[in-house]
Amino acid sequence: METMAKRDYYEVLGLARGASSDEIKKSFRNRARQLHPDNKESGDEAAFKELAEAYEVLSDEQKKASYDRYGHEGVKGSTRDFDNVDFSSFQGFGMEDIIDALFGGGMRGGFSSGGGGRSGPRQGAHLRYDLDLEFLDSVFGLEKKITVKRLEDCTTCEGSGATPGSNLSTCNTCQGQGQVKQLVNMLFMQSYQIIACPDCSGSGKKIEKPCKDCKGAGQTRKSREFDVKVPAGVKDGDRLKLQGAGDKGPRGGVYGDLFVVLNVKDHPEFVRDGFTIHVKQPISFSMAALGAEILVPTVEGAKVLKVPAGTQSSSQLVMRDLGVPHLNNPSRRGDHVVHVVVETPTKLSGEERKLLEQLAEIRHEKLKVSAPVPDKTETASAKDASSHSEHKEEHKKDSSTSTSNSSKKKKSQEKDSEPAEAEDKGILDKIVDVFRHKD
């Protein structure tokens, strides 16, 4: 009935279930400063004791897991009795000193838990393995065997740590409990905390003759092979979890997990951005001007890409659904973006130069220009009004004459247009043949 009356530990700390260890520590520190009896404005000794008990459970991973599953009944008897602690003796001491006295410096790293969690079986340590992947393997995935050295129970002593046939006696220090109560003295107060027995390392048994193979540790490190399935679409830095592939826990504890960290190598041509792949593709200017079909490298090999006529350098042409598959949904894929670079030839043959000069002439492009003539209007003297009038009359006469000449020239140009177009087409064909991209 007593446990049913207790408030939820997450509620005491003002947190939601699933809060991280950092959030638990931060919330406890802030509330402890407010509720400590030494705080004249908001101190509350009963609330502080409740807060300390909640933190003791939620800051310990094993106790937290048991509490999350079974509630207060899951941690019954594993917490200290804070009701017997006289917090008035802490007056005048800093918060860090108080935390050290209560939790053995847990806020500074390494929480010393009370209760019975220490002596029983514990989960083994988690391990890390770095796996190097080729770029295309990260795109399409693969299966790979890896070898990991992990702790396992010694086969000679079957994890006991004692030489086969030798006797195991009950530890006199802890009387087989695997735990001892440690007295913590701090000036005006004394507090107890439960720790693993230093003589038997929490096993509750004393080894008379240690095993020669494991030197009494009960475990040895062995090489094991594991199959790793790398899914399509993974990226550099992703982690894969192999449950139960880590170290074996001591005294019959379960195995920890193995985390495989993926290191994806760079590709000489492709650049990945999310699920999109980018590639640079050079083309000749005849291909850019007239359009062409070219072979472009993709993650699935060379694919045909149609280059539209008039394509400019730095244009981006998109090849749909040829990028990286979406993780856990390989039916969806990103795109393959081709960055077009129009190449200008650096060396020309005589024939090539001649054809280009002819093209420039047809397109009325000047390859050379004259220097601009200096403006002398500022130094010229102004002309009188009568001279200006005479020029107007002359201009009218010249205008009528030029109109007549223009009509004649227009008729002449219409007659010559058809041969000129035929000549232009012939030169362009020659240029395309000369500068056509050689496969």
DSSP 283: E
CA distance 294 to 345: 19
Q: Is 202:251 a contact under the CB 8 Å cutoff?
A: yes
- How confident is the model at residue 252, as a pLDDT? 81
For the residues of 381-438, what is the DSSP string, one character each?
Answer: PPPPHHHHHHHHHHHHHHHHHHHHHHHHHHHHHHHHHHHHHHHHHHHHHHHHHHHPPP
Selected from 1.10.260.40, 2.60.260.20, 1.20.1050.10, 3.10.180.10, the CATH number assigned to the domain covering 271-343 reads 2.60.260.20
Label residue 373 by pLDDT band (50, 70, 90): confident
Q: Is 362:304 a contact under the CB 8 Å cutoff?
A: no
Mean pLDDT to the nearest integer, 276-299: 96
- How confident is the model at residue 137, as a pLDDT? 97
AA identity, residue 106:
G
Beta-bridge mates of residue 227? 145
Report the mean per-residue pLDDT for the chain. 79
CA distance 74 to 79: 11
SS3 call for 164: coil
Superfamily of domain 119-162+215-266: Urease metallochaperone UreE, N-terminal domain (2.60.260.20)
| Dihedral (CA of 186, 190, 193, 198) sign | positive
Domain 3-108, CATH: 1.10.287.110
- How confident is the model at residue 334, as a pLDDT? 97
- Terminal Cα distance for the chain, rounded: 86
What Å distances lie between residue 101 and 124, 137, 171, 233, CA to CA? 29, 54, 28, 50
pTM of the model: 0.56
| Model pLDDT for residues 63-107, shown as the tens digit of each residue | 888 888 878 877 776 666 665 555 554 544 455 555 555 554 433
Structure tokens at 293: 């079909």
| Model pLDDT for residues 60-74, shown as the tens digit of each residue | 888 888 888 878 877
Taking only Cα atoms into account, the Rg of the chain, rounded to an integer number of angstroms, comes to 43
CA distance 294 to 23: 57
Mean pLDDT to the nearest integer, 220-225: 95
The residue ranking higher by pLDDT, 252 or 280, is 280
- How confident is the model at residue 197, as a pLDDT? 83
Residue 394 backbone dihedrals phi, psi, to 5 degrees: -65, -35
CA distance 49 to 7: 12
Domain boundaries, the chain: 3-108, 119-162+215-266, 168-207, 271-343
CA distance 55 to 79: 10
CA distance 53 to 266: 52
Q: Do domains 119-162+215-266 and 271-343 have the same CATH topology?
A: yes
| Model pLDDT for residues 380-436, shown as the tens digit of each residue | 554 554 555 555 555 555 555 555 555 555 454 444 444 444 455 566 666 666 666
